[in-house]
Structure 1
Amino acid sequence: MMRTIFQTTLVLNTYLRLLLIFGPNLIEFLMPLRLLCIIVTLFAPFAAQSQEAPIPPEARKVLELTIYESDLALVKDQRDFKLPTAQSTLAFLGVSGQIQPETVLFRLLGPEPFQVIEQVFDSNVLSPQSVLQRSVGRDVSVFTPNPATGKDTVERAKVLSVDQGLVLEIGGKIHTQVPGRIVFDTLPEGLRVSPTLLMTVKGPVAKDLRAELSYLTSGLSWRTNYVADFDADEKRLDLTGWATITNTTGVDFKDTKVKLISGDINRSAPSPQIKTMARRGGPEVAMAMAAPADGIQQQSLGSYHLYNIEKPLSLENNRTKQIALLGGKGVAVKQEYIVRGEPYFYQQQMPERPPVTQAESAITLKNDKAVGLGLPLPAGVVRVYGQDETGAPQFLGESALNHTAEGGDVRIVVGRDFDVTSEREQKNFVRAGERIVLTTWRVSLKNAKTKPVSVRVVEPFDGAWEITRETQAHDKANARMAEWTITVPAKGQADLEYTARIQN
């Protein structure tokens, strides 16, 4: 193109010189000159077209990621560059393949006058499939190995389609499977080695500049995974929280400063550890207060919590990395057992007894410093391990944990315990009105363990309710739920009987 412009300029200078020489014959040169003006006009836009300036990841000076739990991240990318012409197209190579282009924020870090005219996200990345797609209608070579000679047989073929599988025309016949490997004569135009953000800009020429490119992207997310080592005898556990970070953006982020945001964002369409001094069987236990892991700074950020990882991380594409986030040693807990009724139990005459059920086993604690925690706990999955009689660790179960603020209640459901069971019997059922029923139930709790256990009996009532008679006092958990806490002796049984008046 530059060569064409140079040639056009040379022709124009020649015509001007001829006009100076043949001044009296100006009319004869008028028509060719008009034609020349048309030619120059046609080539003028090419002369003004911006030149592309690649800015590779190697030009990056600062890279920072703020990663949210909801498949979202904020990328801040600072790079150095120079403009080859006053109007140039900056090609930011290696941006996220799942960038949200409408969120891009470009800032020049300097006082120089600068203007962004337009931007385009080019995701046409070089791959076998993209090369095939751009070769539709073109000829390629198919190399097929000859089993007898071991040499390749080369045939010319035309790529007809790649939409739902490759279709080739070879020797006038249609092939839907590749008989060999395909070799392309040239690389099709318009393909890039990595996702690229193109920005047409105006600014100073050949001057050292630095800009910060900020954008939101999918493909980066994190979640919390907890590992709890539970000591059933001491009623304590060691809790470790891991930040699990996953990158599926299509690019690598190397030597990156990472911040993690915990909390549910709205989108439109602590003290050092103290050494544990526990003695098995002894009454005195020194607890290590929960604290962020080494190299992690935790702080509140509006309605969210931010975890700043001080050490730079490298997050490779299609890989998951785990970082120690927080931990607590010797956290005091309670173990409880729960049996639950079903709402339909209390609305009808039961034709037969409900089946015997095993009690739900759970570990409960208060998230405060008194028990050894006292940190905001991001939502995640808690996996609980215990020790058998030989001291070997065994997996006990796992449970989901919601976002829990300091001072909140934590309840980890481990599973069901077949040593603690419940058996129900409906003793009476009376329909006292069109919408009022009276029902009497006996709940028999059995404990096959060698130690007493505390069992919560939870009864959900569908409507306004009142306990008119009971063998033990209840607690009103909420408007539709009554609870009893009953101690069941070792190798023994305890019974609860109550009458409920329910209006719905």
Structure 2
Amino acid sequence: MKKIILLLIATSMLSYAQDRKEVAVTIYNSNLGVVKETRELELKSGLNDVLIRDVPSEINPSSVKINLDGTVIEQNYRYDLANSYSLMQHFIDKKITLVGAKTFVGNLISATSNSVVIKDENGGLTILPSLEGYNISLDYMPENLITKPTLVWKVKSNSAGKKDAGLTYQTSGMSWKAEYVATLNKDDNRLDLNAWVNITNNSGGSFKNAKVKLIAGDINRANTYDNSNYGYNDRMFAKGMAAEADLVSEKSFFEYHIYELANKSDLLQNEDKQIGLFNASDIKVQKKFIYNTNGSNLENKKPSVSVEFKNAKDNNLGMPLPKGIVRIYKNDGEAVELIGEDNLDHTPKNEEVELKIGEAFDITIDEKVISSTKIADKVQEIEYEVTIHNSKEEPVTVEVNRNLWGNWTVIDKNVDYEKENANKITFKVDVAKEKKKTLTYKVRFVY
């Protein structure tokens, strides 16, 4: 295994900022974090070169905002990190020493991941196809190589001494999402809902003891910055409503919502962190069987099964629900099993929530176009039939949503309907247990 020995002969006379005194991180749903931190600088009067280390590798350097008693004349972002390959590339045409079974000294002509070509003082070339068993000795550390991503400032200070510098910057590689666990009761009319947030940090940096805020909402972002050149390549919980004020607080902010963690937290690189958002129990829900149709000849189709509830205070909820995945379980009194999953969008309070669970096993639907009659040049009447077979040991109501087009009129039907909008009507068809029911309706279309 190759080993690199660095003999540092010269070092750069730079001022290093101290570790973060304070740090706050605001994380968005859209692969974005905004970091606000305070660092202590030791400055002399006049010009200073200051290194701000331990910034995330996915930082957007053009987003850096600096608050400092002094003037930042210039900023550079250094991301050429020291490793065996980059060090060897910097020593092309320079002297290196290889120590192993035999010692080689000369100028490096070329270097790959595990082989080198060296030119000795007599002009001869030595090719080593493998560096196994050799140590590489370099005479100095190249100035422009660093061990961590670093901001380099040229600061003009009017006085000497210690000063606090406030930094605000954007970084990609940070995101969060909500995850929900919903548990239906035995009768499918009540539900317990537990919410967590999952925070992901792939920014290339760690933030210890950070104040954390989460923004729920879809912000608009200008598509002008590409940081690709900078980068390195089931829970079940106790019942009881707790939009846990002692853990997470929520408030409106512009057209979004902010969730703020009450306690500071460590956000480490390459880490997923879960934090409790709220627990709500005994939420009233309605189970629905829904079938969407455009009017066709189909057999043995299945209606979907959904549950609906209102996100209201009198239903043991009533707080903005950030978007995320909902995993739905059912408790039959003996065991709790997964029955489906759905995606929940950002949902304000007092709005209805519908979660699709799956498709009904014991309900099948057959559709037929019974007749089609041309009444006039641009007038047509079509009769439809929808037969619902209920094999369940209980009665059901199936909502048949019919999508229509053009100028239409329902001229005959055996079940009343509700007009949802200009292109959709809904029939609510009651079917007795272990029976079938046929819905018939006729529509006149004017083209």
Report the TM-score when normalising by structure 1.
Answer: 0.76
Residues 143-188 of structure 1: CA deviation (Å, up to 9, x unaligned): 88xxxxxxx67777956355xx76633795867x746266432244
Q: Which has the higher contact order (CA 8 A, sep 6+)?
A: 2
Name the structure 2 match of 1:118: 74
- 2:313 is the alignment partner of 1:369: yes
How many aligned positions are there?
414
**Residues 390, 433 of structure 2: 8 Å contact kept:** yes
Name the structure 1 match of 2:117: 169
Distance 1:75 1:143, change over 3 A: same
- 2:93 is the alignment partner of 1:134: no
CA apart distance, 1:84: 3.6
Q: Report which stretch shifted further, 324-333 or 292-301.
A: 292-301
Distance 1:159 1:261, change over 3 A: farther
Q: Identify which of 107, 111, 117 aligns with 2:67.
A: 107
**Residues 99, 136 of structure 2: 8 Å contact kept:** no
Partner SS, residue 137 of structure 2: coil
CA apart distance, 1:377: 0.5
Partner SS, residue 403 of structure 1: coil
**Residues 17, 42 of structure 2: 8 Å contact kept:** no
**Residues 333, 371 of structure 1: 8 Å contact kept:** no
- Structure number with higher strand proportion: 2
Name the structure 2 match of 1:15: none
Name the structure 1 match of 2:26: 66
Distance 1:208 1:169, change over 3 A: closer
Letter in 2 for 1:474: Y
CA apart distance, 1:262: 0.3
- 2:160 is the alignment partner of 1:206: yes
The percentage of counterpart residues that share the same residue type is: 30
Residues 400-446 of structure 1: CA deviation (Å, up to 9, x unaligned): 11111011111111111211221111111224455543221111112
Whole-angstrom distance in 2 between the partners of 1:174 and 1:459: 77
Name the structure 1 match of 2:356: 413
Partner SS, residue 62 of structure 2: helix
- 2:248 is the alignment partner of 1:300: no
Name the structure 1 match of 2:326: 382
CA apart distance, 1:496: 0.9
CA apart distance, 1:497: 0.8
**Residues 18, 40 of structure 2: 8 Å contact kept:** no
Partner SS, residue 30 of structure 2: coil
Name the structure 1 match of 2:227: none
Letter in 1 for 2:373: V
Q: Identify which of 287, 290, 295 aligns with 1:335.
A: 287
- 2:424 is the alignment partner of 1:476: no
- 2:26 is the alignment partner of 1:55: no
- 2:281 is the alignment partner of 1:356: no
CA apart distance, 1:447: 1.7
Name the structure 1 match of 2:8: none
Q: Identify which of 252, 265, 274 aligns with 1:313.
A: 265
Residues 225-260 of structure 1: CA deviation (Å, up to 9, x unaligned): 111112141511111111111111111111100001
- Structure number with higher helix proportion: 1
Letter in 2 for 1:63: V
Partner SS, residue 131 of structure 1: helix
Partner SS, residue 69 of structure 1: coil
Residues 269-326 of structure 1: CA deviation (Å, up to 9, x unaligned): 2xxxxx97xxxxxxxxxxx556246411110111010011011111111111111112
CA apart distance, 1:465: 2.4
Whole-angstrom distance in 1 between the partners of 2:409 and 2:352: 27
Whole-angstrom distance in 2 between the partners of 1:220 and 1:365: 32
Partner SS, residue 311 of structure 1: coil
Whole-angstrom distance in 2 between the partners of 1:213 and 1:402: 33
CA apart distance, 1:364: 0.8
Letter in 1 for 2:317: L
Distance 1:301 1:172, change over 3 A: same
Q: Identify which of 86, 92, 108 aligns with 2:46.
A: 86
- 2:210 is the alignment partner of 1:256: yes
Partner SS, residue 219 of structure 2: coil
Name the structure 1 match of 2:5: none
Q: Which has the larger radius of gyration?
A: 1
**Residues 142, 180 of structure 1: 8 Å contact kept:** no
Name the structure 1 match of 2:170: 216
Distance 1:132 1:250, change over 3 A: farther
Whole-angstrom distance in 2 between the partners of 1:140 and 1:394: 65
Name the structure 2 match of 1:323: 275
Whole-angstrom distance in 1 between the partners of 2:131 and 2:13: 43
Give the unaligned 5+ runs of structure 1.
1-49, 145-151, 270-274, 277-287, 347-352
Letter in 2 for 1:92: I
CA apart distance, 1:337: 0.8
Letter in 2 for 1:192: I
Name the structure 2 match of 1:33: none
